Amino acid sequence: GENVEQHPSTLSVQEGDSAVIKCTYSDSASNYFPWYKQELGKRPQLIIDIRSNVGEKKDQRIAVTLNKTAKHFSLHITETQPEDSAVYFCGGGSNYKLTFGKGTLLTVNP
Amino acid sequence: SAVISQKPSRDICQRGTSLTIQCQVDSQVTMMFWYRQQPGQSLTLIATANQGSEATYESGFVIDKFPISRPNLTFSTLTVSNMSPEDSSIYLCSVVLRDAYEQYFGPGTRLTVT
């Protein structure tokens, strides 16, 4: 089955800086890679996703890049704000079945 | 997106008992899933809830422990049977809306087994 590794496990940045979270996957058949943000005590919220036929996708301050050859994908958050502080999970899979990374605790310091 | 509700939102149960969690969606969906999130951990897929047939379980999860029903397109239940303290977790349903690819999570059910 799919195995998704996520790094770093914790990330602390100053407000206004950029944050990058990286994930690798093992199954070359995986074709869908979402990112979720989970605030304390709340449900995971889909923030951006990418399919394997696309190399990059951007939505305002958030972007995701995918390198199918190397089997890795990354989340980029620019101009970070304190409200970006949360746990971020990457996922990978196909046919709607997802395997998630262990998560990254992002702290944005004012 | 859609409105996804789960009942109960939380419960405290005695070991050896069973709890049934309900997931209801206000839109027609193609796929429904059940996940477990242990404290401070990631999301682990338990099973795919198939409409009108037996659920498809992931490795490490069995029907006797986690029976699942999905009688129609918008409703599913997960039962946690013969509970032990190790079953203390948040249980979340997720759905894929018809004609879409994105997966959305319900609010979760926080289960504590004493």
Cα(A89)–Cα(B104) distance, rounded to whole angstroms?
A: 13
B96 with A32: Cβ contact below 8 A: no
Q: How confident is the model at residue A77 (pLDDT cuts 50, 70, 90)?
A: very high
Of B33, B59, B105, the CB nearest to A43: B105
Of A43, A49, A100, the CB nearest to B102: A49
Per-residue pLDDT tens over the stretch A19-52: 999 999 999 999 999 999 999 999 999 999 999 8
B102 with A34: Cβ contact below 8 A: yes
Residues B88, B111 contacting (CB under 8 angstroms): yes
A34 with B103: Cβ contact below 8 A: yes
3-state secondary structure of A84: helix
Percent of chain A with pLDDT over 70: 100
Q: Does B7 have pLDDT greater than 90? A: yes
A92 touches chain B (CB under 8 A): no
3-state secondary structure chain B: CCCEEEECCEEEECCCCCEEEEEEECCCEEEEEEEEECCCCCCEEEEEECCCCCCEECCCCCCCCCCEEEEECCEEEEEECCCCHHHCEEEEEEEEECCCCCEEECCCEEEEEC
Q: Does B98 have pLDDT greater than 90? A: no
CB contacts, 8 Å: B102 with chain A: 34, 46, 49
Q: Does B19 have pLDDT greater than 90? A: yes
